[in-house]
Amino acid sequence: MATALKIEPDVTFIEHVMKSGGGELKKCYQCATCSTVCSLSMDDAPFPRGQILKAQWGMKEQVLSDPAIWLCHNCGDCNVNCPRGARPGDIIGALRQAAIEQFAVPRFMGALAGSLRGLAVLLLLPVLLFLAVALWAPKPAAPGRLEFAAVFPIGVLEPLFFAVCGLAALAFASSMARFVRALRVSGATGPILPGLIPALREIAAHSRFSKCGRGGSRRLGHLLVFWGFLGLALVGTAVGVATMGGWLSTPLALTNPLKVFANVCAAVILAGCITLLVWRATDPDAANTYFDWLFLLTLTGVALTGSGSELLRLAGAAGAMYAVYFVHLVLVFALLLYAPYSKFAHLVSRTVAMAATARKS
Amino acid sequence: MPKKLGVYICTGCTIGEAIDTAQLAKVATRECKAPTCRMHPFLCGPEGCDLIRKDVADGTVNTVVVAACSARAKTDAFTFDPGIVLERVNLREHVAWSQAAREEDTQMLAEDYLRMGVVKAQKSEPSEPLTEEVSRVLLVVGGGAAGITAALEAAAAGYEVVLVEKEPQLGGFAATLRKRFPIEAPYDAPAADGLALKAQEATYHSKIRVLTSARIVKIEGQPGMFDVAVEREGVASTVRVGAIVLATGWKPYDATRLAHLGYGLANVITNVELERMAARGPIVRPSDGRVPDRVLFLQCAGSRDPAHLSYCSAVCCMATLKHATYIHEQNGRAKVYIVYKDMRTPGLNERFYRAAQDHPLNFLTKGELASIAELPSKDLLVTLRDTMVGGEVSLEADLVVLATGMVPNSADGEAIRALKEAEAKAVRGETESQRAEAARRQDELRSHKGTEILHLAYRQGPDLPVLRHGFPESHFICFPYETRRTGIYAAGAVRSPMDTEHAERDALGAALKAIQAVELAAHGQAVHPRAGDLSFPSFLLQRCTQCKRCTEECPFGSLDEDEKGTPKPNPHRCRRCGICMGACPERIISFKNYSVDMVASMIKAIEVPEEDEEKPRIVVFMCENDAYPALDVAGFRRLRYHPSVRVIPLRCLGSLNIVWIADALSRGVDGVMLIGCKEGDDYECHFIRGSQLAKRRVENVKETLQRLRLEPERLHTAELSINEWDKLPAMIDEFAGRVCAMGANPYKGM
């Protein structure tokens, strides 16, 4: 006989889940309508009923290391069909946030990113940093035309952002190490590297989104944001490397193919963000937590301030241009450095979870 | 009074098309010599009824035979003065609607039914009600929630009440509660108990006499005239009452028998113990007096367990949910685990259950206890299997509460008798070993000493007979509150496990049944199921052989005995089922409209064709409560069955006297069928044991048949539920087929 699993409900965890979007957690009476209506739930490892039960019982470790919470794509079918109004999708969303916080390296960052008060601290850092850059960084000789480098020198920004990306990558790597270790303990033993190929293929096509029952516009929005962001990341990195190597100097001409590509990507992201914002604002059954809004609004802010500052530059409005660009830099900084602690982390966690369970699906 | 017979044949409802009614009228006038015989196409209509009423009014007719529809139909149209004998012949459901129209067999069936009806009418006398001076005072036994409510409700209806309570104050268990289950919208929180107010109201009510610290010494008599001897603080008094409400409540199941659930460990208590603690102050661990942080409730502790109480105690789920609120009230960080088989919170209680589910610190799971162990800290390690969490899980708890169930305060009847027997044997036993065994038994049953409640001075014993689980019910579905002692009605948790609110509602029902019993007794009428029946059995005692079968077999203990064993009837206790009449080997018990001779004459009235005509005859004795209406329904549905049957309705199959079987077979009837209600633990018989008794009697008669070289298979007994009308034609046809295969009764024509 297997030894009995000892349960000591973690009350703090229960309260945290209930505060961060899973307010109806205790309502669930385990009828499993959610698992039945979910089109992503798997026959041999159904969700989200079991995960909600574990959350109700405060079984923090068990539920947070469960890859299933990442397999949910949050369509809201369960929220609509739940006979008890427990909003299972919202609970799973709250559990994802808790998982990001749990596996974050360093852990206090996870806690900061999860609360409004923490947000103020987190934003203070880039604000001060970029104020310092604007005030004291050595400026290049005036180029005779309006450009951002006059206030925010490229020689400072480029290494700064490469460092930010490096830090974020490091944090991602170590939190993923924690996550994978937890996955292994919880019994999700699928080989991750081979699983990555089918997982990435699915992500590229957003095929799970299309299986989801509700929120058709959500798939389109997410697809646009995903590809737009990937494009911008690529072009941004390329331009950054090229500028630092001295092969390219910014600002690029509007007709430059790289510039055209970047502007198209920005437009795509913006379109995606608006689609998602409209969906979140109008669909009463969408799960809308602080965590969700913060990420989407940051992303929208990045896209808006990026294209806005570019337009202002072309329009020659110097004062407004620098101000907006300042906000843009702060937001990009926050988006990238805090990615492992914000909803952005789902990019990595979900990919890993999908890879770990690739054989099952 | 000379019989003036009038036969009235209805030709409506297709009777006229199916049967040659003119020929039928000839049977009435020529064969049965009815001086008056009339036909009408719509006999139950005003014009048809007037036809009969006119003949009755001018004295032409005093014995009416209505050959129309079933006796269960049109009772309002065919009701006449009680001095008139009325007999109904069922030409519609049992002939026209169930047989082929204008066939010879159909005509023979109709004519036989008419002959049988006429002969019964000829032998019946109008019943004269037995009216005596009755007491309309009600006795309520037990002053808990149910008893107080019964007393108040009866008083509100204008009846005087004597309320007897063994404790020094009213209130019962409900008064000891800290809070009761939710009683007001939105039904999500326990409510304050308002019983003290009701108890006060009862105490000062001008129509209610409250006798606390009192016990009943003896009850004798019958509805309308029960003499109750009450002893109160050493002073005896007698009061005459008309009917009794038994509201003696319940006691918790003996937790010392639940050692396997951990009872006996320092910090394992029962729900009743928790409630008592909560009524006084905080709920603490018995081992160290500390307020617990982790409390585990184990549901169905001893309930729904064949080794203990096999039934659901109905209140424990709600009690636990209520107790969880007590725990959270005293300690906002306390965790409450609830381990259940199924949570049962019917009706609006579901809202309370939901409120409990929503509490972040309530943890509910289905599960079974695998083990419970005490840790050095006196905390408890509880291991559960088959939980929703999956597999075996263990939880640590500071306090474990067993949700024990309800045992009715009536269940001791058998045990008390066994104890008395053992006591007697321990003194007067013949051998040493017998006395030792009796002493051991006496010790085992000691807890039942002095727990008798009603002390009925009845021939069948001092207690109410109980059903399987010790509840004194007699017919759970059809007649709630009904016990097997006429005029005594059970209410509250003694009748069935229930909470305070249900007990209060129950009390209202039982009080009304008690009032009915008094009023019916005053008019000389039977209580249900033959409510309003004026007939009662009379005993031709000169011929009684003191065999005691009637006094033993009466399901309601209505007959007492004198010292020689001669029955002493108590007509108001009688339900008029006729079981005594069926039991009597001397055939000395009869009613004015139902007797051994009457049914025997009906059998003789059946024309049995000669063997060469190849027309078998089968007599079917049918319970008129369930099987007969089922056959009516088969008629409504136009289901066909074998035309050889001649149905004779009986008040209860238990009133079957075996002489009728001999009569039928000796007349050349080829088969006899008995169709009664379901028997056994879940019996459906309105008179408890009718089918069972009939079956036993028939077994005895089968041996006689073998001696007479008659196949015992010519006699067949069957059980039928009232809703099984669709099966009835097949049952009849199957038996008819078997009888035909056996060939004709060799006694035909002898």
CB atoms under 10 Å from CB of A259, counted, come to: 17
In the structure encoding, which two tokens stand for residue B714, read together?
A: 């010519």
Of chain B residues 314-343, which have a CB less than 8 A from chain A? 333, 335
Tell me the CATH number at B562. 3.30.70.20
Domain identity same for B116 and B144: no
HSE-up of residue B57 (Cα within 13 Å, Cβ side): 6
pLDDT band at B334 (very low <50, low <70, confident <90, very high): very high
The nearest alpha carbon in chain B to A63 belongs to: B389
Q: Is residue B502 classed exposed, middle or buried when 0-12, 13-18 and 19+ CB atoms within 10 A define those classes? A: buried
Domain presence at residue B419 = no
Domain that holds residue B71: 1-126
Name residue, tokens 């297997």: A2
Q: Which residues pair with B383 in a beta bridge?
A: B371, B394
pLDDT band at B231 (very low <50, low <70, confident <90, very high): very high
Domain identity same for B280 and B394: yes
Considering Cα of B545, then B546, then B549, then B553, what sign does the dihedral take?
positive
Which residues of chain B lie closer than 8 angstroms to A1, CB-CB?
Answer: 392
CB A114 within 8 A of CB A291: yes
Domain identity same for B240 and B281: no
Domain presence at residue B354 = yes
Å between B296 CA and nearest CA of chain A: 13
Q: For residues A194 and A204, what is the distance between their CA atoms, to the nearest angstrom?
A: 16
pTM: 0.88
In the structure encoding, which two tokens stand for residue B335, read together?
A: 């965790």
**Does the structure show a pLDDT above 90 at B422?**
no
CB atoms under 10 Å from CB of B515, counted, come to: 21
Domain identity same for B653 and B708: yes
Domain presence at residue B589 = no
DSSP 8-state assignment for residue B560: E
Residue of A6, A30, A60 to mutate when probing chain B, most B C-beta within 10 A: A6
- What DSSP string runs through A247-294? S--SSPPTTSHHHHHHHHHHHHHHHHHHHHHHHHHH-TTS---HHHHH
In the structure encoding, which two tokens stand for residue B283, read together?
A: 């709920």
Which residues of chain B lie closer than 8 angstroms to A9, CB-CB?
Answer: 335, 363
**Per-residue pLDDT at A144:** 67
Domain identity same for B112 and B184: no
Domain identity same for B399 and B261: yes
Domain presence at residue B370 = yes
pLDDT digits (tens, 9 = 90+) for B143-185: 999 999 999 999 999 999 999 999 999 999 999 999 999 999 9
Which residues of chain A lie closer than 8 angstroms to B392, CB-CB?
Answer: 1-5
**Chain A CB within 8 Å of residue B389 CB:** yes
The nearest alpha carbon in chain A to B336 belongs to: A9
In Å, how far are A41, B234, B658, B740 from B667, measured between CA atoms? 76, 66, 15, 17
Is B360 close to A14, i.e. CB distance below 8 A? Answer: yes
What ipTM is given for this predicted complex?
Answer: 0.87
Domain identity same for B323 and B468: no
Is B392 close to A14, i.e. CB distance below 8 A? Answer: no
CB B151 within 8 A of CB B199: no
Picking from B363, B389, B392, the nearest residue to A2 by CB comes out as B392
Of B183, B140, B178, whose CA–CA distance to B161 is shortest?
A: B140
How far from the centroid of its chain's Cα atoms is residue B186's Cα?
37
B347 three-state secondary structure: coil
Please give the helix or strand (H or E) that residue B402 lies within, else none: strand B399-404
Of B585, B582, B576, whose CA–CA distance to B546 is shortest?
A: B585
Q: Which of B355, B386, B408 is a domain's end point?
A: B408
Of B147, B152, B85, whose CA–CA distance to B122 is shortest?
A: B85
Q: For residues B677 and B656, what is the distance between their CA atoms, to the nearest angstrom?
A: 13
B399 three-state secondary structure: strand
Domain identity same for B236 and B98: no
**Chain A CB within 8 Å of residue B357 CB:** yes
Å between B363 CA and nearest CA of chain A: 6
Residue of B357, B359, B380 to mutate when probing chain A, most A C-beta within 10 A: B357
B382 three-state secondary structure: strand
Structural domains in chain B (count): 5
Q: For residues B648 and B290, what is the distance between their CA atoms, to the nearest angstrom?
A: 73
Domain identity same for B262 and B378: yes
Domain presence at residue B201 = yes
pLDDT digits (tens, 9 = 90+) for B503-538: 999 999 999 999 999 999 999 999 989 999 999 999
pLDDT digits (tens, 9 = 90+) for B93-143: 999 999 999 999 999 999 999 999 999 999 999 988 888 899 999 999 999
DSSP 8-state assignment for residue B102: T
Q: Which of B354, B388, B408 is a domain's end point?
A: B408
Residue A203 carries which side chain, given as an amino acid letter? I
* Domain regions of chain A by residue span: 11-103, 108-356
Domain identity same for B297 and B240: no
Domain presence at residue B437 = no
Picking from A3, A29, A53, the nearest residue to B357 by CB comes out as A29
Tell me the CATH number at B306. 3.50.50.60
Is B393 close to A7, i.e. CB distance below 8 A? Answer: yes
In the structure encoding, which two tokens stand for residue A243, read together?
A: 């500028």
Q: For residues A122 and A118, what is the distance between their CA atoms, to the nearest angstrom?
A: 6
Q: In tens digits, what is the pLDDT along chain A, a chain of 361 residues?
A: 458 899 999 999 999 999 989 999 999 999 999 999 999 998 888 999 999 999 999 999 999 999 999 999 888 889 999 999 999 999 999 999 999 999 998 888 988 888 888 889 999 999 999 999 988 888 777 666 778 888 888 888 888 999 999 999 999 999 999 999 998 887 777 788 888 999 999 999 998 888 887 767 889 999 999 999 999 999 999 998 898 888 888 788 889 999 999 999 999 999 999 999 999 898 877 777 888 899 999 999 999 999 999 999 999 888 899 999 999 999 999 999 999 999 999 999 999 999 988 765 4
Tell me the CATH number at B625. 3.40.50
Of chain A residues 13-42, which have a CB less than 8 A from chain B? 14-15, 18, 25-27, 29-30
Domain presence at residue B657 = yes
Å between B358 CA and nearest CA of chain A: 5
In Å, how far are B123, B505, B522, B560 from B592, measured between CA atoms? 8, 39, 20, 22
Domain identity same for B224 and B178: yes
How far from the centroid of its chain's Cα atoms is residue A152's Cα?
27
- Beta-strand relationship, B380-385 and B85-90: unpaired
Name residue, tokens 């000062």: B204
CB B560 within 8 A of CB B458: yes
* CATH 1.10.1060.10 given to domain A11-103: yes
**Chain A CB within 8 Å of residue B235 CB:** no
Domain presence at residue B417 = no
Domain identity same for B667 and B749: yes
**Per-residue pLDDT at A361:** 46
Please give the helix or strand (H or E) that residue B277 lies within, else none: helix B271-280
Q: What is the 3-state secondary structure (H, E, C) of B28-78?
A: HHHHCCCCEEEEECCCCCHHHHHHHHHHHHCCCCCEEEEEECCCCCCCCCC
The alpha carbons of chain B give a radius of gyration, in whole angstroms, of: 31
